[in-house]
Amino acid sequence: MASDTRGAPEFLKRDDYVDLGSEPLDVDRYINPDVFRAECEKMWPRVWQFAAREEELPDPGDYVVYENAGRSYLVTRQPDGSVRAFYNVCLHRGRKLRTEDGCAVDFKCPFHAFTWEIDGSLKDIPCRWDFPHLTDEKMQLPEATVARWQGFIFIREAEEGPSIEEYLAPLPEHFKDWHLEQCWTSIWVAKVVDANWKTTAEAFMEAWHTIETHPQLMDYLGDANTKYNLYGDHVNVALTPYITNSPHIPAGKLTEQEIADIAAERTGLDKMPGYERVIVKPGQTARQAMAEFNRQQYGTDLGYDVSGVSDTEMVDLFTYNVFPNFSPWGGRSLNIVYRWRPWPGHERCLMEVRILSRAPAGETPPRAVPMHLLGEHEAWADAPELGTLGFIFDQDMFNLPFVQEGMKASKNRKLELGNYQESRVRHFARTLDKYLA
């Protein structure tokens, strides 16, 4: 791998790749509605799902409506600072209690005014005399299990199962010095994609599609030099070298200064207020120069000491994937978070892209920005807050509806995967099969 991991944490140096063989995948897992129904019954209730970030509900009474795979929850901040998740369903006639995020002193049903406190206890039943059979205990709102880690809030329908630390392992070890709890959601854009949620998620599990889908990145992205690691059933990572040539670019075609300049221009870095050109000093690589720049921008300027943080943690792309639909980026510079949800059936999904910004040292992260949901005829590039990333996402999304259509038209019904560069796709598929079995 082209990344320079000298001085980096030991976990970056270990080879945790496991050979999963070369058996093809059946297209039914993406196009068959019976598979989707099995996921809703056997998988989604048993996994930890990323439901919200802490900065989405900083104050008592704040709540987030989290919906996925036919379930709806009210993720609610309690007066003592804890978080609880209630099923977002009135126990009288079944109406959803809330349809949008907000802040509440109680949860009153808009249909008949049955009302619950924010701790889920029954507050009021109009015409209570007509419901002598309903006790307060019986009318407590049912809850999902809640867990919190580095600013992320997770829920699980099943009461039994691994703790969040066990489920996420080895993320607690890997992320312990990256402190995403210091961050806040500064950009949040989403769009409905005409493809299965797995089809969409798997498009972000390998980097070698860059050569055809994102050719403009090849001058400063080491796509095919990506290192892939697999951990247990639930976690894998792609570590992609950044600010370095793709191995598909002839050696010596670009100078180190040209690589730095092209990266700044094509990522929009050179348009940022106060930007000063990243100068590659004699004997330096473009990566090393950019790491110095990032230490200033993401460390010193915010009051953090990152002098001992390795170049790879300051520059490279750490794209983790947590089964089934949560992808947080690691490192100390660009922290992106992906989430994919069926929307609502098996042939469409909602893809969300968050960018986390780090709050200045000692300051409480501000409240998250609201999600910008793009319309049917809007492109990712129409979200100005994404900058040049919007165009990159459009390149990815252009493929996906045709992938979904192509699988339905397939004669042999098989998908052939690369043994290494697509190992994360196979790892993801094998874990899903375990749940469905």
Q: Does 19 have pLDDT greater than 90?
A: no
Q: What's the DSSP call for residue 264?
A: H
Please give the structure tokens belonging to residue 176: 């312990």
pLDDT in tens, 349-362: 999 999 999 999 99
- Can you give the residue ranges of every domain in the chain? 10-31+177-436, 47-168
CA-wise closest residue to 317 among 302, 306, 332, 305: 332
pLDDT in tens, 265-323: 999 999 888 889 999 999 999 999 999 999 999 999 999 999 999 999 999 999 999 99
pLDDT of 102: 98
Strands 372-373 and 183-193: parallel
Q: What are the φ and ψ backbone dihedral angles of 72, each rounded to 5 degrees?
A: -140, 135
Determine contact, residues 254/262, Cβ cutoff 8 Å.
yes
- Model confidence, pTM: 0.95
Determine contact, residues 243/265, Cβ cutoff 8 Å.
no
Rounded to the nearest integer, the mean pLDDT of the chain is 95
Please report where in the chains the tokens 């990159």 appear, as a residue: 392
Question: Quick one: what percent of the chain has pLDDT higher than 70?
Answer: 98
pLDDT of 16: 74
Please give the structure tokens belonging to residue 422: 């697509």
CA 4 → CA 17, 113, 288, distances in Å? Answer: 19, 61, 9
Instruction: Provide mean pLDDT across the span 42-56.
Output: 98
CA 92 → CA 111, 135, 399, distances in Å? Answer: 9, 13, 45
Q: What is the CB neighbour count within 10 angstroms for residue 331?
A: 23
End-to-end CA distance of the chain: 36
Long-range contacts of 347-350 (CB under 8 A, 24+ apart): 347/31, 347/194, 347/195, 347/196, 347/404, 348/192, 348/193, 348/194, 348/195, 349/192, 349/193, 349/195, 349/196, 349/197, 349/199, 349/200, 350/190, 350/191, 350/192, 350/193
Q: Is 297 helix (H, G, I), strand (E, B) or coil?
A: helix
What stretches of 203-273 show up as alpha helix (H) in DSSP?
210-213, 256-266
pLDDT of 46: 98
Q: What is the CATH number of domain 10-31+177-436?
A: 3.90.380
Q: Does 3 have pLDDT greater than 60?
A: no
Same-fold call for 10-31+177-436 versus 47-168: no
CA-wise closest residue to 244 among 229, 227, 225, 228: 225
Superfamily for 47-168?
A: Rieske [2Fe-2S] iron-sulphur domain (2.102.10.10)
Q: Does 7 have pLDDT greater than 70?
A: no
pLDDT of 251: 80
pLDDT of 65: 98
Please give the structure tokens belonging to residue 267: 């990522």
pLDDT of 2: 45
Q: What is the CB neighbour count within 10 angstroms for residue 433?
A: 12
Instruction: Provide mean pLDDT across the span 250-257.
Output: 90
The string over 345-360, giving b where at least 16 C-beta atoms fall within 10 Å of a residue's C-beta and e elsewhere, is ebbbbbbbbbbbbbbe
Please give the structure tokens belonging to residue 6: 């000298």
pLDDT in tens, 395-432: 999 999 999 999 999 999 999 999 999 999 999 999 99
pLDDT of 21: 84
pLDDT in tens, 214-238: 999 999 999 999 999 999 999 999 9
pLDDT band at 11 (very low <50, low <70, confident <90, very high): confident
pLDDT in tens, 81-136: 999 999 999 999 999 999 999 999 999 999 999 999 999 999 999 999 999 999 99
Q: Does 1 have pLDDT greater than 80?
A: no
pLDDT of 20: 87
pLDDT of 425: 97
- 301 Ramachandran zone, left/alpha/beta (phi>0; psi -120 to 50): alpha
Instruction: Spell out where 294-417 has E strands.
Output: 317-322, 326-328, 335-342, 349-358, 372-373, 414-415
